[in-house]
Structure 1
Amino acid sequence: MTVLTTVSEQAILPPKAFPHVKRPFISSHRGSRFIAPENTLQGFKAMLALGTGVIEFDVRLTKDHQLVVYHDEVVNRTTDHKGPVSSFTVSELKSMKAAYNIKDKKGSFAFRNNEEIKISTLKEVFEEFWGKYPKILTSSDVNMNIEIKDNDMLASELLIDLLSKYEKSNEHVLIVSNYCPPLENIQNKLPLVPTGTCEKEAMSFVIYHILNDLFYPFVEIGKLFMKDRLENQYSAFQLPTSHMGINFSTPYFVQDAHALNSKEIHYWVVNTKQSMKQLLLLGAECLITDRTDLALEVWEEMKLPLTNNWMEKYQDYLPYVIKPSEDFEEVHTCVAFICQVIGSIKPILIVVLVLGLFVCLRLMSYIFGMMCQGKNSKLKVD
């Protein structure tokens, strides 16, 4: 089936991610890595049993050019082996214990002796939750936020090939990556598949917002010079609440995003109830979290709608939910040049912006003074 690849003309607005999912929604980060074995089928099913609307996970290329579900560049942190994912074949990766080093709240290795928890291929995940292709997906099929971890066109080509085998798969995925080329390849070949902004585009939006905010409400400079370029086919900004000292979680920030071709704001990784409530009140469409359990409590307290079609089906996987051994924040490493530049010159940038604002205020004060002086002179002459 190749329905996704034949579109007569580009849509005016970018495709909406997960149209069947009620807003706002919960996305379980790596299958909620603090409370279940991360990026595994067991962890995904456990979160679906709890009531999540979307499972989020990462894909990487193997030595034999397949996509497997794994986050880190190396397998050391979670498995009983060491080395880069790209140095192993799928067969070798599947021989590992995928949750070997995961601890529970007591510090015990909760899944060390579990032989069933394996690293899965992306194809296996699709077949597990969508069934074998060819197939037309419906609103009852599981939703997936998939991050491409490799800056390699092969990764996007393999993903495109798999998505093309499932009709209406575009309604059940959001594809994201720090890197622009894989996402642009998907936009070109599967224009109905929603994508998140790559890091370069996300940082361009940050600059756009800062320029708008600089002289607001007098003039929004970003809209004058950058708006047209940012109204592209990316569907959502997936951002932390702050980065490099810049606050991304303000009402005006969210408003700026929504004004750009109705782009959504998805915040990661949000792990406290207080932060969740604050971001939801700002208008965030999605919270990507390691604590799906806490997010569900927030949804209940705030009386927010849920898309939890799979709770009953996966109840047997609730024993895979554990109390977390630790809560730590996601560390973001810049990959885009613009992000690296902003990070390295941030102190200089702050000084320049402050000086620019000071000069602007002084100039406005001078002009206002001259206008008043001219008016007073005119009155004296009269």
Structure 2
Amino acid sequence: MGKTFLLPSYAIIAHRGNSYYYPENTMLSIKNAVKSSVSMIEIDIHMTKDHELVVVHDEKIDRTSNGKGRVRDYTLRELKTFDFGTWKGAHFSNQHIMTLKEVFNYLANENICLLIELKCPHKYPNIVSILLDEIGHSSFPKNQVIIQSFSVKSLIQIAQFDTQISLGLLVKRRNFWLQNLKLKRYRKIVDFINPHYKSVNSRWIAKIHKLGFKTFPYTVNTFQTGLKMFNYGVDGIISDRPELMIDIKDNIIEAGT
């Protein structure tokens, strides 16, 4: 069986949830992204000392919690004692780190896709197999999941284990020229090439599409840049400000009717 991921037209992807207004990667941020009617939510995962997949961007919890240290040095129970909301504002207190399972359970009945970024996979033994196992045992539909990473090695490993799941290669701006030379090599591995938005132009988008890839540039947060990306012909936009990108999308659709 081949891949069955159904890509919405002009996908709006809420980066770490609705993270411009709410503490990133928390249930509050995800709930408000769902309310804004986005096409997709992007989250980041690391792994705890007791091999639980948790939703957090940084390898350390210092920036986004009242704790300190590396995710991998804590058990899930220990991480749950920290506040992951107050750093964004005192009124966001009592937001706790989520597991990937909790996100799957919350979104199981929502008509929404999930873009999962696999962070620092080389630092977490067996994280690929644990991730695929959680996806396989979840009630969240597999054809509404994309896994993305900067690690080509990890994406190759995922493709070897599961030929049905959709994959995306993230490309840093400083590595863009090098990865661009290797695009043809990735065609049998990944479905999406997701670069920093400053690397994108209409010529590159045309090349990507000709090779059979889709693309979600990151992280687009202004009206001018969002409009430019849509005019270039991107397939979706990863943004901290999904509601602003939805407004741009709606204006483009309305102007075309």
2:37 corresponds to 1:59 = no
Query: Residue 164 of structure 1 aligns to a residue in which SS?
Result: helix
Kept in 2, the 8 Å contact 1:16–1:235? The answer is no
Q: Which has the higher contact order (CA 8 A, sep 6+)?
A: 1
Q: Which residue of 1 aligns with 2:23?
A: 37
| 1:206 counterpart (154, 169, 180) | 180
Query: What's the offset of the Cα at 1:59?
Result: 0.3
Partner of 2:78: 92
The reply on whether 1:24 has 2:2 as its aligned counterpart is no
CA contact (8 A) 1:180 1:199 kept: no
Q: Report the equivalent of 1:346.
A: none
From the two aligned structures, give the one with the greater strand fraction.
2
Structure 2 SS opposite 1:195: strand
2:190 aligned with 1:234: yes
Partner of 1:252: 203
For 1:74 and 1:231, how far apart are their aligned partners in 2? 33
Contact 1:205/1:230 (8 A) holds in 2: no
Match of 2:116 among 146, 153, 160: 146
CA–CA separation in structure 2 for the residues paired with 1:32 and 1:66: 24
1:175 match: secondary structure:
strand
Label 1:33 to 1:150 Cα distance change in 2 as closer, same or farther (>3 A). Answer: same
Q: Percent identity?
A: 26
Which residue type is aligned with residue 218 of structure 2? W
Q: CA deviation at 1:202?
A: 6.3
Name the residue aligned to 1:159.
131
Q: Contact conserved, 2:215 with 2:236, CA < 8 A, in 1?
A: yes
Bigger radius of gyration: 1
- AA of the residue aligned to 1:151: P
Q: For residue 27 of structure 1, give the secondary structure of its aligned residue in structure 2.
A: strand
Q: For the structure 1 residues 199 and 287, does the alpha-carbon distance in structure 2 shift closer, same or farther, using more than 3 Å as the test?
A: closer
CA contact (8 A) 1:236 1:265 kept: yes
How many angstroms does 1:204 deviate by?
4.4
Q: Post-superposition shift, 1:32?
A: 2.6
Of 87, 96, 112, which aligns to 1:118?
Answer: 96
CA distance in 2, matches of 1:203, 1:70: 29
The letter for the 2-side match of 1:101 is W
Q: Which amino acid aligns with 2:181?
A: I
Q: Output one character per residue of 1:248-283: Cα deviation in whole Å (capped at 9) or x when no partner.
A: 2221100111111x2011110000011111110111
After the TM superposition, which of the residue ranges 122-131 and 44-53 deviates more from structure 2?
122-131
**How many pairs were matched up?**
250
Describe the SS at the equivalent of 1:183: helix
TM-score (norm 1): 0.61
Provide the rounded CA distance (Å) in 2 between the counterparts of 1:32 and 1:49: 10
Measured in 1, the distance between the counterparts of 2:76 and 2:139 equals 27
- Report the 3-state secondary structure (helix = DSSP H, G, I; strand = E; otherwise coil) of the residue aligned with 1:265: coil
Distance 1:142 1:38 in 2: 18
**Cα distance, 1:72–1:167 mapped onto 2, change above 3 Å:** closer
When normalised by structure 2's length, the TM-score is: 0.89
Q: CA deviation at 1:203?
A: 5.3
Q: Distance in 2 between matches of 1:81 and 1:203?
A: 38
Tell me the C-alpha RMSD between the 2 structures: 2.2
| 1:152-211 CA distance string (max 9 Å, x none) | 452111111011124783311110111123222211111110000255996544236xxx
From the superposition, tell whether residues 289 and 156 of structure 1 become closer, same or farther in structure 2 (CA, over 3 Å): same
CA distance in 1, matches of 2:141, 2:177: 29
